[in-house]
Structure 1
Amino acid sequence: MTDSFQSIEDLAEGNDAEQKTKGRETVQQKLKTKETEIKVKEVEKEIEEKAKSQGLPYINLVGFPISPEALSKVSEEESRRLKAVCFFYDGDSFRLGAAERNNAAAEAVEKISQELHCQGRMYLISENSLKAAQKLYKILPKPREIVRGVKVSEEELNKYSESFDSFKELQDVIARTDVSQIVSMILAAAVKSRSSDIHIEGEEKDIKVRLRIDGVLHDAAILEKNIWPKVISRMKLLAKVKINIDDRPQDGRFAIIMKERKIDIRASFLPTAYGESVVMRLLDSAKENISFSDLGLWDKAYHELKHQIERPNGMIITTGPTGSGKTTTLYSILLKLNKPETKIITIEDPIEYQLTGVNQSQVGDNYTFAKGLRSIVRQDPDIIMVGEIRDLETAEIAIQAALTGHLVLSTIHTNDASGTIPRLLSMGVKPFLLAPALNAMIGQRLIRRICEKCKQEAPLTEEQKRKVGEIIASLNEENRRKFDIANAKFYKGKGCEACQELGYKGRVGIYEIMAMDAEIEKLIQAGKVSEFDIQRVAAQRGMLTMAQDGILKAMQGITTVDEVLRVAE
């Protein structure tokens, strides 16, 4: 009977043997895990090298925070077929990680780009990354029909657009409209009238709605104060900002996606004494980019700028206040220079319109113009566009790029072309670097075109004649011959249905093109240069000022003298 029991010593020996066996197994497991980790790292390194050789960016998605919104852009079924996942989406762009670079993955990027109306980029990932990302489909919320507060559909927009012929009828239409539909009605009026901005401002007794059409604000409607909370809540839901915050600024965005166009809307909410002020900017993808030849440049200015943009290096800067058409001018230059043998990269804030064949990037919280520009010059570009030169660091990098074989296009905030040089020098740019880097400066404004449907002759008043005479008094003999004021005819728009009774429809630029020459370079090298000195030298050389260019366009029946005086005097 005693044989059936183990002694304490036997039990202890058995435990020791078991512990040793478990210890050996633990060590073996750790070794195996370590070997697996090393193999995974080696594979990731191989994929990274492969990505470099194929000219693609690489990413390891293991542990990467992929949002449900991004993951859902490619279905699980499609993900397994393509061996790819969408791992990033922010409304402006998306990124697709593919285990193989093939036509199917490239077509998927193109298809998603068209569906979402935004730019996409392919990354190379490992099979391990792909499997890790695909596991997330199991916890992806199932799509379901829910009420998301508000939305504005194409059908809704079209229905409301048919309610009126002009934005001036908006007040009457709103009076017959349910409060819940007022925001849609205002958006419809803005789209129909080609407005660039909607302003909704709280005042003491009511709410004012104004539309900016062709650069000028027009009163559109008055809302009752008691409905304002409902209206602004609806706008905040659309823009995806916090409804309960009204004591500090907020910025949001949304889009109206139609069959053949997409309207991006950026909304800004600002607390004021009588409630929040809301401004919505409309960016219409259907708006065609203006070709270089359609900018509205005359004779010498056109050929001068054409010569400057065809140079292989140097810097061209457009200048003017916000809304003066600087970005449009740069886009038209890029369109003219965009060829298969040319690499163009931009850094913008924000990307206003997509340009086919151009690599466009957008600044962010940790991605400034200066940081972006440093990276761009390592991408072997021929042409670089920098949205704006705001500080010394950006200016110095742009100038260095211009001096090392790149054509650099950018903007700066000054009143006219002659103010560009003093502005850059005041930032701290060295004169000996600036002089050889600058090719040309473009001063510009936008003025309204006379509506062709209701254009009629309008003789000048004595006051207008006096002001026109002052503007053209400084012209040299060559340019003076263009201004035959004695026999010139001037026009205005009477107002009709086509222009919504405004007399104007569309806009055109007025410009001054100042190219660098030896005399201006001497002024820069001297270090003490004023706008007056530069303007004097340019005028002697025959440069038309913006005001003079505007008067020339008024004599051609393109705009009115009043419009030129409003913008350029």
Structure 2
Amino acid sequence: MHNPDTLTLDLHRVLEALLADRLVDANDSLRVLQHAAEHPVDHPLEQIAACALDNRKCPGQPLDLDHLCQWLAGKVGQPYLRIDPLQLNLPQVSGLVSPAFARRHGILIVAADALSVTVASAQPYQDDWQADLARSLGRKVLRAVASPAHIRECGQSFQRLAQSVKGAQTQQSTSLGELEQWLEAGRRHTDANADDAHIVHIVDWLLLYALEQRASDIHLEPRRDQGHLRYRIDGLLHAVYSFPAGVSLALVSRLKHLAGMDVAQKRRPQDGRLHSRLPSGEAVELRLSTLPTSFGEKLVLRLFDPQRLHESFEQLGLQAQQLAQWQTLLGQRQGIILVTGPTGSGKTSTLYASLNYLATPQVNLCTIEDPVERIEPAFNQFQVQHGLGLGFSEGVRAMLRQDPDIIMIGEIRDRETALVAVQAALTGHLVLSTLHTNDACATIIRLQELGVADYLIKATLVGVMAQRLVRTVCRRCQPNASAACRTCRGTGFWGRTGLFELLVPSERLKAMIGPGTDLADLRRQALADGLIDLRRAAEAKLASGHTVEQEVLRACN
């Protein structure tokens, strides 16, 4: 399959091998050769993949670049590696070979230890670089076949990142005071110096990379000698990079400045907001939060992808019966509707989908949040300001003088807020809010604990949605499948969906609300009334193949 003179893959010989293995037919080969004539510099496997052929041996399976690379690896007797950037120890591997050497030979070091390095290549017959690399590193070189596109993309991105980190570390002052002066000087001048340019590039990289990896949160965490970068993807945290401590400090300072936060204040928590743009031109919003720790400020950025700001109820994962019930509840003129669940269970997404559904030109919809989660032009949003004496209860009282139809309270945390929400519901307003409870029935007990009278709960509570999030099975593969999938990076999961438990209190259930209310009795009555609880919702998702049992156990236990 290679050219004997150059040891590079030869397209004609690759096609001959694919024909022999009955993966393509003669017409497919002709299409590939016609395409290759127009794109002569592409890698042979990329030329074949670009034609979007079907696997003739396995009808319905695409002969894409990943499958072609797997096939090639089997032919040459080398392991196939689906490069997952989140699994690479970037600081460890990025400095072992010069960018020029890696580009010239089309290689990428993906793993290293004291005895060996693993090198990914899309040219398995080329080995003229192998002896030089083994000699310079003093380690054994292990080979693996990988996608030429992944090698090229990852190599360019991570080599530039490594150079920026090295440049920032070399140029920065060893004195923290001098470092702060350097950052301030970089901000005061439009012609930012080279040091500032390194930090700018790293910040740009970590934001764009987070969006590419579908991260919901970015964590910059200081340690004694390093700053750790982690992304939360589909609910789980993944280690991404470890920066030198000084570089990590500079990154936090720059992000705080961009968000309009006080760079000099490091002893008190701060919140900020940052707007950026994707290369495609779409706006993306980030919410920043700092927290003082033993080794410095920890910074968390929550990303709001523009593609997810207007999720529909169907995208959230509501079943048809629950969706119909929920929309009926939202059509009420007055009362309290609560969304409950632990942190990270998707309550905000459900609330905002509901608010967008309700926000018509005919209604005055106002929210009071701490902080405002997502900027929405469709309704009026108010930020809690504790320093000015404007908490949730004070804010709701002010809103009631603004002639609202619908009020959303970010969270009911205390007795005063609970009572003012009840009062708003009693005076003809629809109130939406959140609570932290394990299930829908426990909401009634929680309201009692907050001091809401039983008769008020009966009079105002019209519905409770409890929810959890579980990762969904990738459509292109299955969890733990042997075939690597480019869509989900071989994890077997892509995105998340909700498990919902919607309680609409019946008259029989309301009659049970009183002194000594028993939670178990409430649950039994709710189930008798037809409640689809979280367990049954999970069973439905399992039966439909949307998720797997391990995910349900992780989310619901």
TM interval, shorter chain, is 0.5 to 0.7
Secondary structure, aligned partner of 2:441:
helix
Conserved 8 A contact 1:246-1:271: yes
In the alignment, structure 1 residue 222 sits paired with structure 2 residue 272: no
Partner of 1:568: 556
Aligned residue runs from structure 1 range 204-353, under 5 A: 204-225=224-245, 227-257=247-277, 260-353=281-374
Secondary structure, aligned partner of 2:218:
strand
* 1:202 paired residue among 222, 228, 232: 222
Conserved 8 A contact 2:313-2:323: no
Give per-residue Cα distances to partners, 1:246-296, cap 9 Å, x unaligned. 444343333214574322323233232333322122233443312234432
Partner of 1:174: 161
Partner of 1:535: 523
In the alignment, the residues of structure 1 paired with residue 412 and residue 154 of structure 2 have an alpha-carbon distance, to the nearest angstrom, of 37
Give per-residue Cα distances to partners, 1:179-229, cap 9 Å, x unaligned. 323222211211211211111222344332110112211111122345334
1:508 deviates by 1.2
In the alignment, the residues of structure 2 paired with residue 517 and residue 266 of structure 1 have an alpha-carbon distance, to the nearest angstrom, of 40
Secondary structure, aligned partner of 1:417:
coil
Q: In structure 2, do the counterparts of structure 1 residues 534 and 167 end up closer, same or farther at CA, with 3 Å as the change threshold?
A: farther
Partner of 1:422: 445
1:493 deviates by 10
Partner of 2:135: none
In the alignment, the residues of structure 2 paired with residue 189 and residue 168 of structure 1 have an alpha-carbon distance, to the nearest angstrom, of 14
In the alignment, the residues of structure 1 paired with residue 242 and residue 156 of structure 2 have an alpha-carbon distance, to the nearest angstrom, of 12
Partner of 2:175: none
In the alignment, the residues of structure 2 paired with residue 415 and residue 224 of structure 1 have an alpha-carbon distance, to the nearest angstrom, of 41
Amino acid aligned to 1:215: G
Secondary structure, aligned partner of 1:523:
coil
1:165 deviates by 9.0
Conserved 8 A contact 1:168-1:220: no
Q: In structure 2, do the counterparts of structure 1 residues 182 and 293 end up closer, same or farther at CA, with 3 Å as the change threshold?
A: closer
Q: In structure 2, do the counterparts of structure 1 residues 166 and 243 end up closer, same or farther at CA, with 3 Å as the change threshold?
A: same
Give per-residue Cα distances to partners, 1:379-427, cap 9 Å, x unaligned. 3332222211122222112112222322211111112211111111111
List gaps (5 residues or longer) in structure 2: 1-148, 169-197
1:553 deviates by 0.8
Amino acid aligned to 1:518: E
Secondary structure, aligned partner of 1:227:
helix
The number of equivalent residue pairs is 373
Give per-residue Cα distances to partners, 1:72-119, cap 9 Å, x unaligned. xxxxxxxxxxxxxxxxxxxxxxxxxxxxxxxxxxxxxxxxxxxxxxxx
List gaps (5 residues or longer) in structure 1: 1-161, 459-491
Instruction: From the CA coordinates, give the structure whose radius of gyration is larger.
Output: 1
Give per-residue Cα distances to partners, 1:508-562, cap 9 Å, x unaligned. 11110111112221221x2222332222221222322223212211221212221
In the alignment, structure 1 residue 447 sits paired with structure 2 residue 470: yes
Conserved 8 A contact 1:202-1:277: yes
Conserved 8 A contact 1:325-1:445: yes
Conserved 8 A contact 2:220-2:248: no
Give per-residue Cα distances to partners, 1:22-59, cap 9 Å, x unaligned. xxxxxxxxxxxxxxxxxxxxxxxxxxxxxxxxxxxxxx
In the alignment, the residues of structure 1 paired with residue 153 and residue 438 of structure 2 have an alpha-carbon distance, to the nearest angstrom, of 34
Q: In structure 2, do the counterparts of structure 1 residues 183 and 533 end up closer, same or farther at CA, with 3 Å as the change threshold?
A: same
Q: In structure 2, do the counterparts of structure 1 residues 551 and 170 end up closer, same or farther at CA, with 3 Å as the change threshold?
A: farther
In the alignment, the residues of structure 1 paired with residue 410 and residue 404 of structure 2 have an alpha-carbon distance, to the nearest angstrom, of 16
Give per-residue Cα distances to partners, 1:348-373, cap 9 Å, x unaligned. 23333344542332222333221221
Conserved 8 A contact 1:200-1:210: yes
In the alignment, the residues of structure 1 paired with residue 150 and residue 163 of structure 2 have an alpha-carbon distance, to the nearest angstrom, of 11
Conserved 8 A contact 1:166-1:500: no
Amino acid aligned to 1:360: Q
In the alignment, the residues of structure 2 paired with residue 360 and residue 206 of structure 1 have an alpha-carbon distance, to the nearest angstrom, of 39
1:234 deviates by 3.0
Partner of 2:507: 518
In the alignment, the residues of structure 2 paired with residue 166 and residue 413 of structure 1 have an alpha-carbon distance, to the nearest angstrom, of 43
Secondary structure, aligned partner of 1:543:
coil
Aligned residue runs from structure 1 range 471-486, under 5 A: none
Give per-residue Cα distances to partners, 1:150-194, cap 9 Å, x unaligned. xxxxxxxxxxxx998999997666324343232222112112112
1:442 deviates by 0.7
Amino acid aligned to 1:208: H
Amino acid aligned to 1:385: M
Partner of 1:23: none
Conserved 8 A contact 1:193-1:500: no
Aligned residue runs from structure 1 range 44-443, under 5 A: 174-177=161-164, 178-179=167-168, 180=198, 181-225=201-245, 227-257=247-277, 260-365=281-386, 366=388, 367-443=390-466
Q: In structure 2, do the counterparts of structure 1 residues 362 and 235 end up closer, same or farther at CA, with 3 Å as the change threshold?
A: closer
1:494 deviates by 6.2
In the alignment, the residues of structure 2 paired with residue 241 and residue 344 of structure 1 have an alpha-carbon distance, to the nearest angstrom, of 30
In the alignment, the residues of structure 1 paired with residue 152 and residue 469 of structure 2 have an alpha-carbon distance, to the nearest angstrom, of 26
Q: In structure 2, do the counterparts of structure 1 residues 383 and 227 end up closer, same or farther at CA, with 3 Å as the change threshold?
A: closer
Secondary structure, aligned partner of 1:400:
helix
Q: In structure 2, do the counterparts of structure 1 residues 244 and 382 end up closer, same or farther at CA, with 3 Å as the change threshold?
A: closer
TM-score (norm 2): 0.61
1:495 deviates by 5.1
Secondary structure, aligned partner of 1:379:
coil
TM-score (norm 1): 0.60
Secondary structure, aligned partner of 2:511:
helix
Partner of 2:493: 504
In the alignment, the residues of structure 2 paired with residue 505 and residue 493 of structure 1 have an alpha-carbon distance, to the nearest angstrom, of 17
In the alignment, the residues of structure 2 paired with residue 240 and residue 306 of structure 1 have an alpha-carbon distance, to the nearest angstrom, of 39
Partner of 1:83: none
Q: In structure 2, do the counterparts of structure 1 residues 260 and 205 end up closer, same or farther at CA, with 3 Å as the change threshold?
A: closer
Amino acid aligned to 1:256: S
Amino acid aligned to 2:202: I
Conserved 8 A contact 1:422-1:531: yes
Conserved 8 A contact 2:356-2:378: no
Which has the higher mean CA deviation after the structures are superposed, 268-277 or 243-252? 243-252
